[in-house]
Structure 1
Amino acid sequence: MTALDLLAAAIRAKVGVSGSMVPPAAILWPDASQDWRRLLPAARSRIPELLVLGDYRPDDRTGPAIWLRCVIDGTIELPDVTGDGPPVVYLPGIERGQLRAGEDCPEHLRPLVELLYRGVPWHHPNGRDWSVRAFLTLRAAGVPAGPGLDIAGDSETREALLRAIGEVAQTPLDELRGRRLDANAFNQIAGVEIERDILRWMGDPAASRKTMGDARWDAFRDQARNVLKFDPEAGSDVEAGAKLAQGKGRWRAVWSRFREAPKSFQGVAEVLRRSRPQGELVLEGRDRWPDLNDEDEMSVRAALGGLPGLSHPDACAEIERLEAEHGQRREWVWAKMEEAPLAEMLRPLARLAEAVGKSVGGAAPDDIARVYDERGWQADRSAREALALARPQHEELIADAVRHLTKPWLNQSAQAFQAAVRDHPLPSVRTGSVKEPPSTAYTATHPTVAAAPMSPVAATEQECLLFVDGLRYELGRCLVERLRERGLTAAIRSRWAAIPTVTATAKPAVTPVADRIAGDRLGADFQPVVRGSGRPASAGTLREAMRERGYEIVRDDALDLGPPPAARGWRETGRIDHHGHHHEAAGFARLVEDELDRLVRRVLELIEAGWTSVRIVTDHGWLLLPGGLPMVTLPGHLTESKWARAAVLAGEARPDAPLHPWHWNPDECFASPPGIACFSKRPEYAHGGLSVQECLIPDIRISAKAADGGMAHVGLPRTVIRSVSWLRMRCNVMVDSPGAGATADLRLGSSSGKSVASSPKAIDTDGCASLILRDEDHEDAALVLVVIASDGRVLAHRTTRRGDPPA
C-alpha cells in the first residue's frame, strides 16, 4: 500500500459523503499552493478519471475551464477518462473561494462555478486545501485511512518533501513508517537508487519516464549505463529482464531488491515472462523465470487432477513425489507474489498423505483413542487445512484430492472403531460414576484416555465451564496450541461422547447435572428427560437445573462479564456445528479457523473477568468428506426417525443395520450405518454415528496461572505485531497495544535466542520501531522479532527473515 493508493481512495470517498441522493457531477480538488502538481504524472495512472485545469492538452487530460465543463457534461468524449466514479478535477493555483458567482469570479473560471453545487470539493476538514504534509501525516479522520507518517515540520523538510512527492507517494508505506522523516530522508528518496529505479522502469517504462522528469531521467540513465551496462533509452524491457534473470554483476543486487519486496514492483514478473528466449533450456536459475513457475504449477495441477485414477497407495506416493519436486518453490519469489498456490497446497497434502498411510485401529476403543491421539488426528487436521487453503479456482481440484486420500482411511478407521465397540461398549453415566479426577489428570502431554465408567463433568470453585458444540478432538488439540501461544496453561485429555453422537443425546452428558438426566423411551429426537419432572433435557431445562445447583449462567453475548461470583460458571459459545451443517466442505474448513480464534477470545474474556480457570467441554465430533459421505439404504417405513448417521427404529423392526444401545438407556437401541456411510443423501459433514472422529472428544482445562506459578498476563487488549517490513538491513515494525516501556528486538532462531540487532529499540507512542540487523552474517538466517515488556516478558513474537515481503 502506498500513499498514492490512499490518496486515490480518499478522493473517491467524497462521493459517499456528498449528502445528495444523486452522485456528484465531479470532485473538485483545489490546490492554491500547487503542492500536489509534481505528483500529476503518477496520479494520472492511478486515477484515470483525473482532469487538470490548464492549457489545452487533451492527451494529458488537461484543458481550460470551458473544456473541462464540456467533458464533465459529456458533450466532449474523452476515451482515456475511465473509472466508475465522477471525474476528479485538479485545480492548481486555485482557491475554492475564487469559484463563486458574480463579478468577483475570474472570467476564465466561471464555467466551473456551477460545479460547486452539482459537485463536491475535496479539502481538509478545517475547510482549507489539503497540503501534502497534512495528508501524509494523517492517521484517521477525514479519509478511509491515513498514511500516518512522522514528518518534521520545518520549511527545509517541506521543500524536500515537495521535490520528492512523486517518489514518496509511490513508496510502500511500510518502508516509510516507523522513522522520523526529515529533509535528509526526502532528499535520499528523491535521488536515484539504481536497483529500485530500474525495476520501476521495467514495470512501466513510459510512466517511469514521465514521473522522473528530465533531470532525474538523465541521472538515472547515466547510472544505469555505468553500473548496469544497460541504456534504458536504447534498450528494451525484455533485454533488461534477461539481465535481471541472469543476475550477473550489479544485476545480482537488482534481483535481491526485487526478491525483498516483489509486490512493490508490479509489472516486472510480466516482463520476465516475455524475456526468456523461447526454446532455450534453463539449467540453473530456474527460480528466476515466472513462466517456468507457471509451467510447474500446470504440472502439479495435472498430477492432482489425475490422483483419483490412482490406487490409494499410489496416490499417496504421488503426493510425496510432488512435494519432493515442488516443495522448494515455496521459497521462490513467485510464492511471495502468491503465484505458486499449488506448491503451497502440497504442504498440507503431503502431511495428509503421510498420515493416512497408517491405519488407526486397536482391540478396544481406548487403544484406538491412543493411536488417534498420537498421530491419527493429524490426518484430519491436514485434510481440513488443505480445504481451507484452496483458492476458489482450485477448490474442486483440492477437494477431489482430499477425498481420494482421506475416504479409505476414514472408512477403515470407522470400521475398526465399530468392531472395537461391539466387544468393548463405550462407558455411560448409567454404568456407574466416579469422582471427578484431580486437576493433575490434565497433563501437558496427551497420554490420558477416558476409561469406563464415564466421569461426570463438574467445575471447581471459580471455574467456568465453556461448552462448545461440535469441538472435535482434532480441533481441541489445535485450540490448546493457540492458548499456549497466548501464555495460558492449557492441558487436554480425551473422553467419550454419549451415543448416538447428536447434540440432544450427547450434550446433557457433559453438563454438571448429568446425574439428573434419564432415558426412558428412545424418541424420534434422541432426547433424554430430567429425572422426576420428565421434562425434555433441552438447553433451557439444563441451564435451569444448573442454576439450581449453584452455577452462574454466563451469556455469550454479554458485553461486560463483571467479576465472577464465588461460584461455578457455565457459558455456551461457538458455531462450529452450525457452520458444518450449512456450508460446503471448503467454506466450512475456512470458517473453522475463525471459530478457533473466537474460542481463544472467549477464554481470555473469562480469565480477564476473574475466573481462575476455564474448562472447555463439548458434545460430539464429526466426519468431513468433500464430495459427500457414502450412502446406504434404510427403508423409511422401518424407522420412526432417520438422521444422517443414526436412526430410531419403528416398533419391532430389525433392518439389516448395526444396532447400538442408547447412552441414556441401554435397553433402547438405535441403528447406525457401517463405516462412514449415511442414511441420508451424501452430506459432506455429518455426526451421530460411531467413529473415532465423532466419539472421541476433548476435555480442556485452562488456568490463569503461568507455567512458573505466577499469573499469566492475558489482559485485553493483547499485544499484536501489526506489520513487519524490511528495507535492506533495516526491519520496520508496527505494534498494537505494546504497553508503556515496551521494546522490540531481533533474535536468532527463537524468541529466547541471542539478539542480532545493533540494539533493541523502544516502541514509540505510535507503536513503531526500527531495528538494524547487526551484520551480514545473519542476512539469510531465521530470525524472530520479539516485543518485550518493561519487566522482560515477551509480549508477542513473529518469525521473519531479511527480505521477507511486508507482513
Structure 2
Amino acid sequence: MKLIDLLAEEVRASAAYNSNIQMAPSVILWTDKQRQWESALPLLQAAMPELVVLGDYAPEQKRGPAIWIKCVIEGVLPEVQLPQDRTPILYLPGVERRDLRAIADCPDMLKPLAELQYRGCWWIYNNTGRDWTVNAFLISANGGAGLDVAKDDKSQQAMLRVLTEILESEREDLANRRLEAPDFNKLVSSDPVRDLLSWMNDSKVCRERWDAPRWQALVGICETEYHFSPERDGELTAAELLCQRQGVWESVWQRYAESCHHYPNLPDLLMKVQPDLAADGASYPVINADDEQRLEQDLSQLLSLDSAQVRQQLLRLEQRHAERRTWIWSQLGQAPLAGVMEFVSQIAERTQQVFSGIDAEEMAELYRQEYWQVDDLALKALAYPLSNGQQALVQQLLALIYTPWLDEVTRNFQNLVKAKGYPGVGQVSEATAAYAPGGEVVFFVDGLRYDIAQRLEQMLVSRANIKLSSNWAALPSVTATAKAAVTPVHDKLTGRVSDRDFEPSLLDEDKDFSAYYLKKFLKEKGWVYLEEGETGDPSANAWVQSGDIDKEGHVKGLKLAARIDTLLEEVVERVDELLAVGWRKIRIVTDHGWVLTPGTMSKVDLTKHLTDTRWGRCAVIKDAVDTGYLQLGWYWNKDVSIAMAPGISSFKAGQHYDHGGLSLQECLTPIIEISSNQQVQTGPSATAALSDLRWLGLTCKVQAETGADGVVAVLRTHAADADSEICKRKPLKGGKCSLMVDDDFEGMTAVLVLLDESGNVLAKKPTLVGDE
C-alpha cells in the first residue's frame, strides 16, 4: 500500500462513530500548527477529494476563508461540490487545536469555524490532543506507517522536503530499514548520479528547471555520499573529483563513460581540471588534447621523409597513441587523429612490400585473399571525420605510403598482362553465366569495387546465404563497354571500328546499344526490367540496377570514401525488398572498379592526333599505331586498339577518381550470389499493382489492381521494414482504400506498400506525405 492511501484511510477513520448513540460528524478537523503537511497538498487533495483548506480564496484549489469553507461544508455552493459519500475534511495550516478551543481568544478569521469542533471530530495523535506530525505518522505503529525514521536534524529536514515523494512510495519499499537523509533524498533524486552529471553538464539550466526539493535532495546526497557541496564548492570541484575517480567517484565516472554523449558540455568543464604528474589521460581530457596536438605535430614532420621512414614512424606513433582510442574522448570525437591512425598504421604495415605473381590470375588470388584490405583501409582513412587541415595531412601521408605501393602493384599487374595476356580475354563472363532459368534477379551495381563488395557481403550475411566470387571486367574498364558485357543480352551486341566512346553496337543493326535496347532484348528473352520501386514476379527472371557508386565517384572525388556505406545501405534495402516478395536468388554484378588516389594522379602525355577517343585511364588509338604504352584490343572488337595509362597515372590532369585503366582495383570485379534462407511459400502468391496514389491533406487515397483477396496497403519509411510503418494497415476493397497519417509525418519521404496476407511486399511506390 502506498503511504498516501494509508494516510487517507487513517484520516477518514477518525470520523468513525456509534450510530446508536452518536450523530455522524459533519467535518474532520485537521490542524497543523507547523504546516508540515502543506507542501503535499496537491497530492493530499487528489487522494482525498473531500479535503478543503483554510487560506486565501482560490476555489479551484478548494481553498478559502472561514465563511466560504462553512458554505462548502454545508454544500450550498454549486461551484464547489464535495463527494456525497465522504465526510468533509478541513485542513487548517498554521492552526493548533487550542486556537479553536479557546473561543473567547480565537482569532477573528477562525471564529466562524469554532463551532465545527462540536459538530465535527479531530484527526489527532492517538487521542493525545496533539497534531499528527509527519514524523509521528511515519513512525507510529498505531494509526501510522510504523517505519524506522532517524531523529537527526538532516534526516528530519530531508523527510519534510520530500514529503510528496514519501507519500507516493509503497510502504514495503521503506520498511525494514532505518530511514536517513540519503534515503529520503533519493526519493526525489531517483537517479542521483544522473542528476549530478546533468548539473555538472549545465548547472544554470538545471537550477532553473528543477524545483527546490529536487535541488535540495541533490545537495544533500552530494554532501553525504560524494563529500562536497554543490552550493559551496561548485561544479569545478565536482569536475576535479570526477577526474580523480577516487572512492565513490569511480562509479560516477563509469556512469559518465557509459553515457558520455548525454552530457555534451561536460568535457569543456573537465578541460579546466589540471592533472598532476601521475594523472591518467583516460579521465583528463586536457591530457588527451595535448597528446592529440603532439600527434598532429609529429605527423606533420613526417612529410619530409621518404616512404620507408614514414611507415616506420607511423608504426611507432601508433604504439604510442593506440590506447587513446579506448578513452571516452575518442567516442566524443576529441581524438580524431588517434582514431584515423588505426587505419593509417595498418596501411603503413601492409604496404611495406608490394606483391606480384607468376601471372595475373595468381596476383588476383593474392589480392582476393589479403591485399584488398589495403584499399579498404585507405577508404576508411579518407572517410574518417577530421577537420579540413587534418584531412589534408592524412591525404599527404597516404600519398607517401599508399600511392607508391598502389602504383608499383599496378605496374606489376600490367607487366604480367603484357607478358602473358589479360585473363578476361576469351573467357565466359561469370557474371551472366549459368543463371537460373526462373526465380533469379541479376542486380547491377555500377562501380562495385572488390573491397567494397566485401563490406556489402558483411551487411547481407545475416539476411541470406552469401557467396562472393570474382570476374574480370571487359576492357577497357568503363561502363559503356563493361556493363554491356555483364547483361543477359550481351550476345545481341558487337563492336565496330566506327563505334565511339567504347559503346558497342547492335549485332543485327548499325545502332548504338542503349537502355531502350537493353529493355527490348530482355523482354524478348523473357526477362523483366524492374524499375525503381518494382519488385516483379519471383517466378521469372529480372534485371535490376541501383546503387550508383561510379557516379558519386566522378562527382565527389575523394569525398566518395565517406559515402560508401550509405550507398551500400541503399543496395541492401533493395535486396531486402526483393527477398521479401519471394525472390530465391539474387546475383549482384558490376561493370568495373576504380582507382582513388589521395593526391591527384600523375599526368602522362599522349599525343592527341594519335587518338580517336581519350579518357583519363584509356584511349582509342588510331590505326593501332604504337604509342609506347601498353595496348590491348577492345573487348567488343579486337581490331580496335586501346592504350592503357601506366601504373595509376592518367592521360588527363587533376584526377583523384577514375577507371578504364588496367589495375586489379579496376578490373577484378566481384560477384555476390544471394540465396534466400527463408522457407519457400507454397500455393499461388497474390499479385498487385498500384494504379493511382493521391493526397488529400494527410489522407492518402490508394487505388490498385489486385489478383487476390487479403491485400492491404500501408505507408512506411522503409519499404521492407514493418517497424517503420507510419499509419494503420488498411485492406483494399474494390482495389481502393484511404490511409490517414498524423501531422507529425507531414513532408516526410515515405513508401506506399501493398502486402499480401503473409506480409510480403507486392508493390511499392515512393511518395511525400501530404504532397498535393
- The TM-score normalised by the length of structure 1 is 0.59
**Is 2:261 aligned against 1:263?**
yes
Do the aligned residues in 1 keep the contact of 2:529 with 2:544 (CA within 8 Å)?
yes
CA drift at 1:597: 0.7
CA shift for structure 1 position 217: 4.0
1:426 is the counterpart of 2:400? no
Cα 1:468/1:200, change in 2 over 3 Å: closer
In the TM superposition, residue 273 of structure 1 has moved relative to its aligned partner by 1.6
2:495 corresponds, among 516, 519, 528, to 519
TM-superposition CA deviations, 1:218-258 (whole Å, max 9, x none):
44334323322222333243333222222222222222222
1:264 Cα deviation after fit: 2.9
Asked whether the equivalents of residues 399 and 599 of structure 2 are also in contact (C-alpha less than 8 Å), the reply is yes
Instruction: Give runs of aligned pairs for residues 154-165 of structure 1, distance below 5 A.
Output: none
Task: Report the counterpart of residue 621 of structure 1 in structure 2.
Answer: 593
Separation of aligned partners in 1, 2:373 and 2:438: 35
1:543 is matched with which residue? 519
- d(CA) in 2 for partners of 1:289 and 1:736? 45
1:130-177 deviation line (CA, Å, top 9, x unaligned): xxxxxxxxxxxxxxxxxxxxxxxxxxxxxx99989xxxxxxxxxxxxx
Cα 1:520/1:212, change in 2 over 3 Å: closer
CA–CA separation in structure 2 for the residues paired with 1:187 and 1:562: 63
What is the alpha-carbon distance in structure 2 between the residues aligned to residue 492 and residue 462 of structure 1?
A: 20
Is it true that 1:572 corresponds to 2:545 in the alignment?
yes
Aligned length: 515
What is the CA distance between 1:400 and its match in structure 2? Answer: 2.2
- Select 2:505's aligned residue among 526, 529, 534: 529
Matches within 5 A, 1:36-115: none
> How far apart, in 1, do the equivalents of 2:475 and 2:163 lie?
73
Verify the 8 A CA contact 1:522 1:668 in the aligned structure 2: no
Letter in 2 for 1:303: D
Mind listing any 5+ residue stretches in structure 1 that lack a counterpart? Answer: 1-36, 38-159, 165-184, 437-449, 723-734, 738-807
1:358-437 to 2 correspondences below 5 Å:
358-393=353-388, 394-427=390-423, 431=426, 433=428
Distance (whole Å) between structure 2 residues aligned to residue 468 and residue 203 of structure 1: 47
Which structure 2 residues correspond to residues 185-204 of structure 1 after superposition, within 5 A?
A: 190-191=188-189, 193-204=191-202
Deviations 1:261-301 (A, max 9, x none): 22333433222222216xx42x2422111111111111222
Aligned to 1:287, what secondary structure does the other structure show?
coil
Structure 2 counterpart of 1:234? 232
SS in 1 for 2:261: helix
- Secondary structure of the residue aligned to 1:258 is helix
The 8 Å contact of residues 390 and 398 in structure 1, kept in 2 or not, is answered as no
Structure 1 residue corresponding to 2:450, chosen from 467, 473, 476: 473
1:463 equivalent in structure 2: 440
- Report what 2:621 is aligned to: 649
Q: What does residue 84 of structure 1 align with?
A: none
Unpaired segments ≥5 residues, structure 2? 1-41, 43-160, 166-182, 682-717, 728-772
Select 2:309's aligned residue among 304, 314, 321.
314
Q: CA deviation at 1:212?
A: 4.3
Task: State the secondary structure of the residue aligned to 1:346.
Answer: helix
Listed one character per residue, the Cα deviations across residues 389-408 of structure 1 (whole Å, up to 9, x for unaligned) are 23343322222233322101
Matching residue of 2:661? 689
The question of whether the paired residues in 1 share the 8 Å contact of 2:439 and 2:541 is answered with yes
- Relative distance call for 1:705 and 1:575 in structure 2 (3 A) is same
TM superposition shift of 1:491: 0.4
Q: What SS class does the counterpart of residue 443 from structure 2 fall into? A: strand
Whether the 8 Å contact between 1:659 and 1:670 is mirrored in structure 2 is yes
Distance 1:423 1:652 in 2: 19
Counterpart AA for 1:319: L
Tell me the percent identity. 32
> Which amino acid in the other structure matches residue 362 of structure 2?
D
CA contact (8 A) 2:449 2:666 kept: yes
State how far apart, in whole Å, the 2-side matches of 1:163 and 1:362 are.
Answer: 80
Q: Which residue type is aligned with residue 466 of structure 1?
A: F
Q: Does 1:599 align with 2:597?
A: no
Q: Quickly say closer, same or farther: Cα 1:516–1:189, change in 2 above 3 A.
A: farther
Deviation at 1:684, TM superposition (A): 0.7
Closer, same or farther: CA 267–479 of 1 in aligned 2, 3 Å: closer
Contact 1:327-1:347 at 8 Å conserved across structures: yes
Q: Quote the residue 1:347 is aligned against.
A: 342
Of the structure 1 ranges 285-294 and 322-331, higher mean CA displacement relative to structure 2 is found in 322-331
Please, which moves more after superposition, 676-685 or 657-666? 657-666
Q: 1:719 touches 1:736 (CA, 8 Å); kept in 2?
A: no
Structure 1's 187 and 536: CA in aligned 2 closer, same or farther, altered over 3 A? Answer: farther
Deviation of 1:215 after TM superposition, in Å, equals: 4.3
1:332-343 matches, within 5 Å, as 332-343=327-338
Letter of the structure 2 residue corresponding to residue 561 of structure 1: T
* Range with bigger deviation, 419-428 or 219-228: 219-228
Q: Secondary structure at the match of 2:599?
A: coil
Q: Residue 508 of structure 2: SS of its match in structure 1? A: coil
Q: 1:240 corresponds to which letter in structure 2? A: A
In 2 relative to 1, CA 710–187 (structure 1 residues): closer, same or farther, beyond 3 Å? farther
Distance 1:240 1:710, change over 3 A: same
Letter in 1 for 2:451: E
| Maintained 8 Å contact 1:523/1:648 | no
Distance of aligned partners of 1:523 and 1:392 in 2 relative to their CA distance in 1, 3 Å threshold: farther
Q: 1:571 to 1:194 in 2, by over 3 A?
A: closer
- Equivalent in the alignment of 1:563: 537
Identify the structure with bigger relative contact order (alpha carbons < 8 Å, sequence gap 6+): 1
In 2, the alpha carbon distance for the partners of 1:297 and 1:496 equals: 44
- Which is further off, 637-646 or 326-335? 326-335
1:540-564 deviation digits (Å, cap 9, x = unpaired): 2233222222211111x23x42433
Tell me the distance in 2 between the aligned counterparts of 1:161 and 1:388.
52
SS of corresponding position for 1:348: helix
Q: Which has the larger radius of gyration?
A: 2
Q: 1:459 to 1:216 in 2, by over 3 A?
A: closer
1:653: Cα distance to partner? 4.2
Q: Do the aligned partners of 2:185 and 2:217 also contact (CA within 8 Å) in 1?
A: no
Q: How does 1:482-497 map to 2 (within 5 A)?
A: 482-485=459-462, 487-497=463-473
Residues in 2 aligned to 1:416 and 1:372: alpha-carbon distance in whole angstroms: 13
Deviations 1:168-209 (A, max 9, x none): xxxxxxxxxxxxxxxxx9996733754334333433444444
Partner-residue secondary structure (3-state), 1:489: strand
* Conservation of the 8 A alpha-carbon contact between 1:649 and 1:671: yes
Partner of 2:295: 300
Q: Secondary structure at the match of 1:320?
A: helix
> Contact between 2:432 and 2:486, CA under 8 Å: does it hold in 1?
no
- Cα gap change, 1:189/1:550 in structure 2, threshold over 3 Å: closer, same or farther? farther
Q: 1:358 to 1:478 in 2, by over 3 A?
A: farther
1:699-778 alignment to 2 at 5 Å? 699-705=671-677, 717-718=720-721
The one-letter amino acid paired with 1:462 is G
- Pair 654,337 (structure 1): closer, same or farther in 2 beyond 3 Å: same
- How far apart are residue 477 of structure 1 and its match? 1.7
Asked whether the equivalents of residues 238 and 271 of structure 1 are also in contact (C-alpha less than 8 Å), the reply is yes
Residue type of the partner of 1:615? R
Instruction: Give how far 1:214 is off.
Output: 4.5
- 2:647 is the alignment partner of 1:675: yes
2:604 counterpart SS class: coil
Pair 1:209–1:554, CA change in 2 (3 A): closer
Aligned CA distance change for structure 1 residues 307 and 350 (closer, same or farther; 3 Å): same
Q: Tell me the CA shift for residue 470 of structure 1.
A: 1.0
Give the 3-state SS of the residue equivalent to 2:409 in structure 1: helix
Rounded Cα–Cα distance in structure 1 between residues aligned with 2:520 and 2:654? 37
Partner of 2:247, secondary structure, is coil
Whole-Å separation in 2 of the counterparts to 1:553 and 1:161: 70
Deviation of 1:410 after TM superposition, in Å, equals 0.8
